[in-house]
Chain A
């Protein structure tokens, strides 16, 4: 990189990580303040691990994000495969527009519209509570789906169309051809979609705020509800821990990076070989 680029990138990173540095520093504050630093202490970390309600909220957040990401990835990938093969231009246009809706709609509208529907349906069925973990999960899957589809579709379009057909000509069943040929081709898109869905669900506050039900509050909602009393450095301690967990995950995945790159290279070689074989 050129020096100018380096400086520019550094500035961007400083901007992105300045608040995180603040979180880190104040999580070690001995006082119950987010703006006045007394002296270094691990007090809030100890507090955090005693607070079963907050830990419960963290667990809820993770359960929700993981389930929403997995469901939307499976359903979204299948949908992308189906949409890719749609022959009717009209149908394709309809599917594209519908898929775009949750992305073009502000999250507050997605949240409110789903809440109105759940409440209305709940009332019709005379349910005591119309919102629950399930409604929240539905909402999260709904807004994650388009991101998965938009990650997978381009990979399908880039794929060499003759590959699955060749596999079938060589005697593969369509299902087998799909697993053996299509899945490996689109896997990077699927994984990016999965990670995006997980991230979006983890970070979401607005949609959760409108669709959260009994006994399943996520971390953002818990923090938002601390409006009469104050947010304590305990929350900063939590954020700091999340930061280091992610850092650790990244280190692990980077260490295994080399063999990952190796596999991709091998796959590419294999593919070009297959092509050669097919063309002859």
Chain B
């Protein structure tokens, strides 16, 4: 017992030393808030973006910099933490509809693009999108499309097509649905030809009815669990973000043959870098954003995340195309010209708080049914 305690105390002192080692001298800090697993972090021999940025900054500006890199689980999670004033960050990377909401609520600051010269590499189709029509607040980081993944060994080729596959009673108990309200409702809305941004209650009620008919067929409401379930053949059909299909493909079991397709009407999303109004160090944040757009980090992040990049330094790079392979390039970049049109038509918009509350109530109703 005594030994255990003394070991504990020793550990405490050691940790305290480690900590003070980090906090010493005049070090700048930059607080970055991003999705979990959404940056190249040095794993699998990749580029360690945060550490490289720190090194690069010190080499360029001669001052030590420490990046506090934290993660969040969802747009809503990030929003409620920042809105309540619980935390403040210099750079955040929310999705389109959340950006629109934060702009509407004065939670973001206009960027000084003089500090972000690399913005020129952002493709024209990613300018003037609905969430930031004058390109004042955001620099796009990744984009993507929701598609359907299925196991070709258990799903008949004849049944494949559009959203109906997720409602096909033949595969009862083999179907996965999103475990977040916005994405789950959207699958029903796209299927029914409804507008995902309609604020009329009738439209949401119709989507709920559709989800309720699907409920008995659903094996599981999933987020990251989809990886294990699809890889192991535990489930046969599920909708998820395009790039993630390749992660599953890499790890699929021998008796599983995963395939992927886009339904006709589906969700298009853009995640963009922004600076919250409460940021402590705006200029530093802009330097970071600019760094993220430069070639090496941009390619590394695109390869790590496996989502499409709006950065021409990335999608025009031959090394990158080679690394991803032909199939992945085709799925991830289904034709950039259409993107802004489809995006403005099908992407999620910010809903007013009354509708959001209503959707939340309907979601609870689905979950307890």
Tell me whether A and B are bound partners.
yes
Question: Is there an interface contact between A128 and B280, defined as CB atoms closer than 8 Å?
Answer: yes
Question: Is there an interface contact between A59 and B15, defined as CB atoms closer than 8 Å?
Answer: yes
Q: A52-B51, A67-B12, A217-B71 are in contact. Are A119 and B86 (CB under 8 A)?
A: yes
Docked pose: A273 CA to B44 CA in angstroms: 66
Q: A62-B11, A214-B87, A256-B3 are in contact. Are A228 and B280 (CB under 8 A)?
A: no
Docked pose: A35 CA to B234 CA in angstroms: 10
Q: Let me know if B214 is at the binding interface, CB within 8 A.
A: no
Q: Let me know if A83 is at the binding interface, CB within 8 A.
A: no
Question: Is there an interface contact between B15 and A128, defined as CB atoms closer than 8 Å?
Answer: no
Q: Let me know if A75 is at the binding interface, CB within 8 A.
A: no
The smallest C-beta distance from A255 to any residue of chain B, in angstroms, reads 9
Interface residues of B in 1-27 (CB under 8 A from A): 1-5, 7-9, 11-12, 15-16, 18-19
Q: Mark A170-212, 1 if CB is under 8 A from B, else 0.
A: 0000000000000000001001001100100000000000000
Question: Is there an interface contact between B251 and A36, defined as CB atoms closer than 8 Å?
Answer: yes
Q: Mark B43-54, 1 if CB is under 8 A from A, else 0.
A: 110001011000
Question: Is there an interface contact between B232 and A36, defined as CB atoms closer than 8 Å?
Answer: yes
Interface stretch (choices B31-39, B192-200, B282-290): B31-39
Contact among A52, A69, A115, A230 with B228 in the assembled complex (CB-CB below 8 Å): A230
Q: Mark A25-65, 1 if CB is under 8 A from B, else 0.
A: 00000011111100000000001001111000001001100
Q: Let me know if A253 is at the binding interface, CB within 8 A.
A: yes
Contact among B4, B70, B231, B234 with A195 in the assembled complex (CB-CB below 8 Å): B4
Docked pose: A164 CA to B31 CA in angstroms: 54
B5: chain A residues at CB < 8 Å are 191, 194
Contact among B9, B29, B48, B224 with A229 in the assembled complex (CB-CB below 8 Å): B224
The smallest C-beta distance from A166 to any residue of chain B, in angstroms, reads 26
Q: Mark B39-75, 1 if CB is under 8 A from A, else 0.
A: 0011110001011000000000000000011111110
Closest to A131 in B: B86
A128: chain B residues at CB < 8 Å are 85, 88, 278, 280
Q: Let me know if A227 is at the binding interface, CB within 8 A.
A: yes
The smallest C-beta distance from B64 to any residue of chain A, in angstroms, reads 15
B44: chain A residues at CB < 8 Å are 47
The smallest C-beta distance from A240 to any residue of chain B, in angstroms, reads 17
Docked pose: A52 CA to B74 CA in angstroms: 23
Q: Let me know if A215 is at the binding interface, CB within 8 A.
A: yes
Closest to B18 in A: A59
Contact among B48, B68, B71 with A222 in the assembled complex (CB-CB below 8 Å): B71
Interface residues of A in 53-87 (CB under 8 A from B): 53, 59, 62-63, 66-67, 69-70
The smallest C-beta distance from B256 to any residue of chain A, in angstroms, reads 8
Contact among A52, A214, A228, A234 with B38 in the assembled complex (CB-CB below 8 Å): A228
Q: Let me know if A102 is at the binding interface, CB within 8 A.
A: no
Looking at B3, B11, B38, B224, the one whose CB has the most chain A CB atoms below 10 A away is B3
Closest to A63 in B: B15
Closest to A231 in B: B224
Docked pose: A118 CA to B86 CA in angstroms: 8
B366: chain A residues at CB < 8 Å are none
Q: Mark B213-227, 1 if CB is under 8 A from A, else 0.
A: 000000000011001
B137: chain A residues at CB < 8 Å are none
Q: Interface size class for chain A?
A: 35 or more
The smallest C-beta distance from A65 to any residue of chain B, in angstroms, reads 9
Q: Let me know if B138 is at the binding interface, CB within 8 A.
A: no
Q: Tally of A-B residue pairs with Cβ under 8 A?
A: 155
Contact among B11, B31, B227, B241 with A230 in the assembled complex (CB-CB below 8 Å): B227
A243: chain B residues at CB < 8 Å are none
Question: Is there an interface contact between A130 and B18, defined as CB atoms closer than 8 Å?
Answer: no
Docked pose: A50 CA to B251 CA in angstroms: 22
Q: Let me know if A249 is at the binding interface, CB within 8 A.
A: yes
Q: Let me know if B252 is at the binding interface, CB within 8 A.
A: yes
Q: Let me know if A105 is at the binding interface, CB within 8 A.
A: no
Question: Is there an interface contact between A229 and B68, defined as CB atoms closer than 8 Å?
Answer: no
Docked pose: A225 CA to B74 CA in angstroms: 8
Q: Mark B236-262, 1 if CB is under 8 A from A, else 0.
A: 000001001001001111000000000
Q: Let me know if B353 is at the binding interface, CB within 8 A.
A: no
Docked pose: A35 CA to B251 CA in angstroms: 9
Question: Is there an interface contact between A214 and B15, defined as CB atoms closer than 8 Å?
Answer: no
Q: Let me know if A252 is at the binding interface, CB within 8 A.
A: yes
Question: Is there an interface contact between B43 and A51, defined as CB atoms closer than 8 Å?
Answer: yes
A-B residue pairs in contact (CB < 8 Å), sample of 14: A52-B42, A53-B41, A53-B50, A69-B8, A119-B86, A128-B85, A129-B85, A129-B88, A229-B35, A230-B227, A232-B43, A249-B4, A252-B7, A253-B4
A→B interface (CB under 8 Å):
31-36, 47, 50-53, 59, 62-63, 66-67, 69-70, 115, 118-119, 122-123, 127-131, 188, 191, 194-195, 198, 213-215, 217, 221-222, 224-232, 234, 249, 252-253, 256, 260
Known: A224-B73, A225-B36, A227-B74. 13 other contacts (CB 8 A): A33-B228, A33-B231, A52-B42, A52-B50, A59-B18, A63-B15, A66-B8, A66-B15, A130-B86, A131-B86, A227-B224, A230-B227, A249-B4
Going nearest first, the 3 A-B pairs with the smallest beta carbon separation are A215-B68, A229-B37, A225-B36
